[in-house]
A and B are shown apart, each in its own frame.
Chain A
Amino acid sequence: MSEFLDILKHYDVLGAFWVNIQLTFWGALLALVIGTVLAVMRISPLSSLRWAGATYVNIVRNTPLTVIMTFLVLAVWTQLKISLAHDFALNFFLFAVVGLGVYHAAFVCEAIRSGVNTVPAGQAEAARAIGLPFLAAARIVVLPQAFRGAVAPLGNTLIALLKNSTVAVAASVATESSGAMKTMIEFRPDYLWPIFLTFAVGFVVLVIPIGLATTGLSRRLAVTR
């Protein structure tokens, strides 16, 4: 037990987790926005938009996140000289958020699409029948019901995103937890297991409430028909 206290005293473990939580929050927000746009494209009546949405999902979903992160930092930042912020650390943080956002957007899109499948076709037909154009029908009638049906798969995507936020280390965000763990093991190889368990349990503690909350929410928000 004293080993754990020792670790927590000498290293900023909570600070490292806090970086992951921030990465997750902003990444999820970005993924939700892009994913919703993609989902609308994939259900739109225009075949070119459907094609573009499907292409995005199929390419991004099948590319490893580490490849995307490394590309953003080594190619977009180093070679193309595109910077997201003047501050060095903030720049890497933002690149990591972009990487997490664009990658998980593909999964968010598919989660929302599975939610759209829970909405009977008659709902969209009724919306069109009273004169709502496609976008208004999607925004007012279809998507609100689709989100309620997609809470569980969206929760799974959020859990994946939280754990994947450790890949930000590939975008040089050294302060996040897997980066911190690496440093700690290098300096304190004698505390190998306590260090590992601290981070492993930390993530379990973060993830379990998300799972419980989404299960509860999806029950409470379910649309009664």
Chain B
Amino acid sequence: MDEPAPALVELRGVNKHFGDLHVLRDIDLTVRKGEVLVVIGPSGSGKSTLCRAINRLETVDDGEILVDGSPIPAEGKALARLRTEVGMVFQSFNLFAHKTVLDNVTLGPRKVRGASRKDAEEEALTLLRRVGVENQARKMPAQLSGGQQQRVAIARALAMHPKVMLFDEPTSALDPEMVQEVLDAMVALAKEGMTMIVVTHEMGFARKAADRVVFMADGQIVEESDPDTFFTAPTSSRAKDFLSKILVH
């Protein structure tokens, strides 16, 4: 047996409230380097909040979140630096609407890492080719399909050379026929060894690429197992109930 890879993202006793709502309850979670973690659960279970807390788009009330061994900074330059190490892909893509696809991908490297335009564009085109949208580089985001936009968003996040990638329901806003092209790009990324935390209901992806599935309900981690066990033999009644709803229509 190999020695387990070092922990890249650690949550220890994390709690968060939105007013009276306790959205994250005593979350303890460790994601190791190279691991692909799928977070699944009913809406309102806190899975998106969990994902967003890891690059501090949401603050937490107490507990600790560590990325690569150090606690995430509260604000300022240190926080900005942390965010370059944590790539984020949103449900609604959030490509910069006033910039071309190429500029979307080069913005971070140029303005944050100080790369030259030439180097940034060269790398951006490589990344866009990797996700299959290189020929759209000069277009504006609104001219692309949802699936293409989301693949550009993946390339934009990768351009910062993140240590871990967060995906917050990356296929939920897509038309059904575009889901697969985005999942394919994500599977490819997983195979290359990227550490990923993916909030999704896509079982196909979980089965193909995930090392571990975490099931959340009411702000708590209810169940944690490998994908096959989770989908075929869930132990908690909440997970069984949830799976029966998403599997049988």
Contact = CB atoms under 8 A, between A and B. Distances in A.
Interface string A115-129: 000001011011111
A125 B96 contact: no
Contacts of A223: 97-98
Contacts of A130: 83-84, 107-108, 112, 156-157, 159-160
Contacts of A140: 107, 111
A60 interface: no
Interface stretch (B36-44, B64-72, B74-82, B230-238): B74-82
Given A145-B97, A224-B142, A225-B97, A129 B55 contact: yes
Nearest to B95: A126
B94 interface: yes
B112 A145 contact: no
Contacts of A148: 98
Contact of B81 (A120, A131, A145): A131
A126 B112 contact: no
A129 B88 contact: yes
A209 B26 CA distance: 62
Contacts of B94: 120, 122-123, 125-126
Interface in A98-134: 120, 122-123, 125-133
Contacts of B111: 132, 136, 140
A136 B112 CA distance: 9
Question: Contact size class for B?
Answer: 20 to 34
Contacts, number: 71
Residue from A123, A129, A223 whose CB has the most chain B CB atoms within 10 Å: A129
B246 interface: no
A202 interface: no
B156 to A, nearest CB: 7
Contacts of A125: 57, 90, 94
Nearest to B77: A133
Interface in A111-167: 120, 122-123, 125-133, 136, 140-141, 144-145, 148
B90 A128 contact: no
B98 A128 contact: no
A50 to B, nearest CB: 15
A45 interface: yes
B140 interface: yes
A131 B97 CA distance: 18
Residue from B92, B94, B160 whose CB has the most chain A CB atoms within 10 Å: B94
A127 B96 contact: yes
B173 to A, nearest CB: 11
B142 A131 contact: no
26 contacts: A45-B75, A123-B97, A125-B94, A126-B90, A126-B153, A126-B156, A127-B96, A128-B83, A129-B55, A129-B57, A129-B83, A129-B86, A130-B83, A130-B84, A130-B108, A130-B112, A130-B157, A131-B80, A131-B84, A131-B112, A132-B111, A132-B112, A133-B77, A133-B80, A148-B98, A223-B97
Interface of A: 45, 120, 122-123, 125-133, 136, 140-141, 144-145, 148, 223-225
Ranked 6 nearest A-B pairs via Cβ: A130-B108, A131-B84, A122-B94, A126-B94, A224-B142, A129-B88
